[in-house]
């Protein structure tokens, strides 16, 4: 039960938690997610909403983050993609961090 413990600890210390789900290269290649993963993410979002935790889910968003911005590995974005994603993340979180 790591996530509930983290949420309890941060909330008891008045710390704002923002979780980020990044876009995967496999998504840009059109590979479908498993039903188990889809169900898990739906359950996670519901749990986080109930716990008043923000989840920024970029996995299915932002057509600008295309396959050519990834290295051969799923999670590693080349510098041009890093710049795009960092700016997008900064913009999306600035209102959350006030």
Calpha distance 17→95 (Å, rounded):
13
Residue of higher predicted confidence among 73 and 98: 98
Region 37-47: mean pLDDT is: 95
Q: Residue 78 — very low, low, confident or very high, per pLDDT cuts 50/70/90?
A: confident
- Whether the pTM exceeds 0.85: the reply is no
Which whole-number Å values give the CA distances from 69 to 4, 10, 26, 57, in the listed order?
A: 34, 34, 12, 18
The reported pLDDT for the residue numbered 68 is: 74
- Do the Cβ atoms of 41 and 57 come closer than 8 Å? yes
């Amino acid at each position: 039960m790591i996530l509930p413990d983290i949420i309890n600890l941060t909330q008891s210390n008045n710390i704002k938690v923002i979780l980020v789900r990044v876009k995967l290269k496999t998504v840009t290649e059109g590979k479908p997610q498993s039903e188990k993963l889809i169900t898990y993410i739906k359950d996670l979002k519901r749990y986080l909403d109930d716990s008043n935790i923000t989840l920024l889910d970029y996995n299915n968003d932002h057509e600008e983050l295309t396959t050519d911005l990834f290295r051969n590995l799923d999670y590693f974005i080349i510098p041009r993609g890093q710049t795009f994603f960092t700016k997008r993340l900064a913009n999306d979180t600035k209102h959350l961090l006030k």
